[in-house]
Amino acid sequence: EDKVVQSPLSLVVHEGDTVTLNCSYEVTNFRSLLWYKQEKKAPTFLFMLTSSGIEKKSGRLSSILDKKELSSILNITATQTGDSAIYLCAVERDNNDMRFGAGTRLTVKP
Amino acid sequence: GAVVSQHPSWVICKSGTSVKIECRSLDFQATTMFWYRQFPKQSLMLMATSNEGSKATYEQGVEKDKFLINHASLTLSTLTVTSAHPEDSSFYICSAMADGYSPLHFGNGTRLTVT
């Protein structure tokens, strides 16, 4: 059965800390892995990863895919209170459907 | 873990016809369900928020007469695309949560193609 598992489920840190969020998957016909930030109304797209070992960066956020380990990590450095959100990992399959993980709730305290 | 089932996974229909998409929470009661549409570059747009027993709240720019949402029970919400046109072709995703403190659980999405 296809599944996407994120860990940890919840995380509380202080401003300035660095966090690593994990996403592992077992899906057939993998096409890409996506990371979203869920705050209010709709998940905001962060990264799409298709190739193993190539890091993608956007400011303090970075992510990398490991196809051998069937996993991805999302790193956030120098966290700020505005980073508090639920971070979602989703896997797109060749037939165009998606499998979402349950998300990691990140709370950044001042 | 909580499961949200979305049906159908994909549908092809002719222009002018209506299509119904179902979103079910299988092992929890979902007080709130959300409907999204995926746009290019993987962005998700929230279309509407659906609360059981009340009218859906539509986001600005979403035609409520075009996208009919019914949340008839605590485990089922439906999205009906009425008089579908090719520009309605997209990937539609639902999510559900038990209450305001619960995580969101997403369905697997429905790929709609209007010919």
Average pLDDT value for chain A? 92
CB contact, 8 Å: A42 with chain B? yes
* Across A63-82, average pLDDT: 97
Residue B22 contacts residue B7 (beta carbons within 8 Å): yes
Give the tens place of pLDDT for each residue, A80-110: 999 999 999 999 888 667 888 889 999 999 9
Q: Which of B9, B44, B109 sits opposite A42 (nearest CB)?
A: B44
Measure A39 CA to nearest chain B CA, in Å.
11
SS3 B34: strand
**Cβ-Cβ contacts under 8 Å for B75 (sequence gap 6 or more):** B24, B25, B26, B29, B30
Residue A37: its H or E element: strand A30-38
Q: How far is CA B97 from CA A43, A90, A99, in A?
A: 15, 17, 16
pLDDT in tens, chain B (115 residues): 568 999 998 999 999 999 999 999 998 898 889 999 987 767 788 899 988 888 899 999 999 999 999 988 889 999 999 999 999 999 999 998 887 667 778 888 999 999 9
Residue among B106, B115, B114, B109 at smallest CA distance from B3:
B106
* Across A29-51, average pLDDT: 88
